[in-house]
Chain A
Amino acid sequence: MTLDSAVRIIALAPDLLGTYGDAGNVTVLAQRLRWRGFPTEVVEGIGRDVPDSGDIYVLGGGEDGPQALAAREMIESGALPRAVERGAVIFGVCAGYQLLGCSFLDTDDNVHAGLGLLDCTTVRGTGPRNVGEVVANIGTLLPGHVLSGFENHGGVTTVGGGATPLATIVAGNGNGDGSHTEGAWSGRVVGTYLHGPVLARNPDLADLLLEWVVGPSAPLADADATAEALRAERIQAAGGSRRRA
């Protein structure tokens, strides 16, 4: 195969959105492709220089200042709306999730425009930061799948009619707007508050994103036995924080 046929994963603004180990999501996607024999290329999208050739675009978490800068640069680049039109996959975590939405607020209550690729808006919560293990039942996107991850954010996100919440909270806070939901999705754009990294904890979700690019693949039973043991442990550990839901 030539390089042109490689699956291309774009790690978006890893310099601004890389605070919570979310680079691991790119590692997970790339490895699962390689293990299955797909030529895979990981490219960093820095500043306004975001490649138009990506199959999957991945955004991580970050702090307020860098998040606002990343949002400005991505809006100016225009690459992501074009990618959505092409049918590319967009996956955002925490700050990356917030900036896929219509708007978000920083610590000084300044409103920042988001990319508007997910119909959701984020404001600052009034209580303490939401920090801890999360367990949530994924809805129509992956029926029957339990989402496991670790949240650490002060945002409250409301999902509008143009998107669908990703999951229903069992333990933890997630979107935190009283709807007991976590994350959002629309078409091939998926956002979540969960770190972990979330795709390492939830290989089924990783494979769903990959399926949108390369079609259905055989499971990676050996690798995922390790992940399953971790999931079981973390889901049990989250039981103690169930009250917070």
Chain B
Amino acid sequence: MAATLASDRSSPRPPRRLRFAVPAARLARSLSRRLAHRDGAVIGGRVCLAVDPDAVAHLLVQHPTTVFVSATNGKTTTTALLTAAIERLMPVATNTTGANLPSGIVTALMDAEPGTTAVLEVDERYLPGVVAVATNPVALLLNLSRDQLDRMAEVRSIALRWRDAFAHDTTRVIANADDPLVAYAAPPERTVWVAAASRWRMDALSCPACTARVQYDGDDWYCTQCDLRRPKPDVTFTDTDVVLASGRRLALPTTLPGTHSRANAAFALAALELLGLPVDGASDAMATVTDVDGRYQHLWATDDASRLYLGKNPAGWAEILDVLAPVDRPLVIAVNGNDADGHDLSWLWDVPFERLAGRPVVATGERMRDLAVRLRYADVEHTAEPNLTRALAWARTARADVVGTYTAFQQIKRELRRDA
């Protein structure tokens, strides 16, 4: 390891720092695990970054192949699918628990063997920073949509920052052709376009390049004023199959529900092909991913259709409602308004909850009342249950699906583990 780092003369700080930073981080993580019973992923990374502020760059340089997955929705799932597909061939360094800030990336890399392939999900805001310091990076750009309304600079400014970053580097990109914000951000000459069939369009009705209206016409879209329009997709998929850029047709894994899960798998297969790795057998490997850090896990029995979903913004909910719509199963919805959820829950009014009318619904979570008012105006009969434990007990009896916002979802996972 030391030899690799010593050759890295271009880095702004001596990589020697990293040799102190990593052991310090491991100690912090170990203490966090033993004393606080936390997973230590964040504290370890923070300590490492405190000792070596350039730890992300110093660690990334040890990995000749790096894939970054960034988006508002689908980062963790796509990272898990791609990791499963590559792990059948070779070891992978990855951050599977969604720790996607620099501290989480450092934690994922500090134990990895130099030379391993890295597959990392990255928060949208940090993507430009990590592609800039990686060797030969590949970036998967899935979507950009409103999320944490009070905290996020509007999504359009993130699209602009991505575009600026890719304009000046050599990153190879796999991008969603159906999201105008992503299409605007990706460098056309270095991009493989995936027709991802995204349902949510409200954040890209106004052109990211010129603010004129974007016209949607079936699957196609184009700006009514400038020349931004839907790129011709290189990768397309159906409910069962994907056709890759090479023309290869493969079966898609069907373990995870919904069109968005097919899209995530299509992105992962496109990444494999771009990396020059064999795609045969990849779908079977991805089919072993039955849940992603709790997302989509079967709640009450494996032969039961009920699952746990992360529903944190309107784009995600659009996909979830589509999965839930065909069967009127009971549903528990847990809404919180903490920092990671966003304090402004106005986005609940962008979710067509009207589609839930007719099924038994329980509203819970710390911001249950925001949801209760929304459901009332959607004419969805529901019960408000302030106590999450009781709401989940009802869910168990009713064999209900459960959907939570980011921190509510984490609370639900803890409750379920405690019961298990």
Judged by a CB distance under 8 angstroms, whether B381 is at the interface is: no
Question: Do residues B344 and A200 form an inter-chain contact, with CB atoms below 8 A?
Answer: no
Say whether, besides A15-B206, A69-B211, A150 and B372 are in contact (CB < 8 Å): no
B291 surroundings in chain A (CB, below 8 A):
none
Segment with Cβ contacts to A, from B31-39, B345-353, B409-417 = B345-353
A65 surroundings in chain B (CB, below 8 A):
156, 206, 211
A21 surroundings in chain B (CB, below 8 A):
149, 344-350
B 184-213 binary contact with A (CB < 8 Å = 1; else 0): 000000000000000000110110000111
How far in angstroms is the closest Cβ of chain A from B105? Answer: 28
Question: Do residues B349 and A197 form an inter-chain contact, with CB atoms below 8 A?
Answer: yes
B 121-157 binary contact with A (CB < 8 Å = 1; else 0): 0000000000000000000000000100110001010
Nearest chain-A residue to B367 (Cβ)?
A233
Segment with Cβ contacts to B, from A23-31, A50-58, A115-123 = A23-31
Question: Do residues B377 and A18 form an inter-chain contact, with CB atoms below 8 A?
Answer: no
Q: What separation, in Å, do the CA atoms of A16 and B355 have in the docked complex?
A: 25
Question: Do residues A24 and B344 form an inter-chain contact, with CB atoms below 8 A?
Answer: no
List of 8 A-B pairs having minimum Cβ-Cβ separation, nearest first: A21-B346, A24-B349, A65-B211, A15-B205, A230-B369, A21-B349, A66-B206, A195-B346
A66 surroundings in chain B (CB, below 8 A):
206, 211
Judged by a CB distance under 8 angstroms, whether A142 is at the interface is: no
Q: What separation, in Å, do the CA atoms of A21 and B348 have in the docked complex?
A: 7
Q: What separation, in Å, do the CA atoms of A132 and B337 have in the docked complex?
A: 12
Question: Do residues A226 and B373 form an inter-chain contact, with CB atoms below 8 A?
Answer: yes
A229 surroundings in chain B (CB, below 8 A):
369, 372
Question: Do residues B374 and A200 form an inter-chain contact, with CB atoms below 8 A?
Answer: yes
Judged by a CB distance under 8 angstroms, whether A40 is at the interface is: no
B149 surroundings in chain A (CB, below 8 A):
19-21, 152, 195
Q: Which B residues, 336 to 393, have Cβ-Cβ distances below 8 Å to chain A?
A: 343-350, 369-370, 372-374, 376-377, 379, 384
Q: What separation, in Å, do the CA atoms of A19 and B206 have in the docked complex?
A: 11
Judged by a CB distance under 8 angstroms, whether A182 is at the interface is: no
B 204-244 binary contact with A (CB < 8 Å = 1; else 0): 01100001110000000000000000000000000000000
Count chain B residues whose beta carbon lies closer than 8 angstroms to a beta carbon of A: 29
How far in angstroms is the closest Cβ of chain A from B82? Answer: 32
Judged by a CB distance under 8 angstroms, whether A111 is at the interface is: no
A 159-180 binary contact with B (CB < 8 Å = 1; else 0): 0000000000000000000000
Question: Do residues B372 and A63 form an inter-chain contact, with CB atoms below 8 A?
Answer: no
How far in angstroms is the closest Cβ of chain A from B210? Answer: 8
Query: Can you offer 12 A-B residue contacts whose CB atoms are under 8 A?
Result: A19-B146, A20-B346, A21-B149, A22-B349, A24-B349, A63-B156, A65-B211, A150-B344, A150-B346, A195-B346, A200-B377, A227-B373
B373 surroundings in chain A (CB, below 8 A):
200-201, 226-227, 230
Q: Which of A18, A47, A68, A226 has the most CB of B within 10 A?
A: A226
A6 surroundings in chain B (CB, below 8 A):
none
Nearest chain-A residue to B363 (Cβ)?
A226
How far in angstroms is the closest Cβ of chain A from B333? Answer: 15
Q: What separation, in Å, do the CA atoms of A24 and B374 have in the docked complex?
A: 9
Judged by a CB distance under 8 angstroms, whether A214 is at the interface is: no
Q: What separation, in Å, do the CA atoms of A51 and B205 have in the docked complex?
A: 21
B376 surroundings in chain A (CB, below 8 A):
223, 226
How far in angstroms is the closest Cβ of chain A from B21? Answer: 33
A233 surroundings in chain B (CB, below 8 A):
369
How far in angstroms is the closest Cβ of chain B from A127? Answer: 16
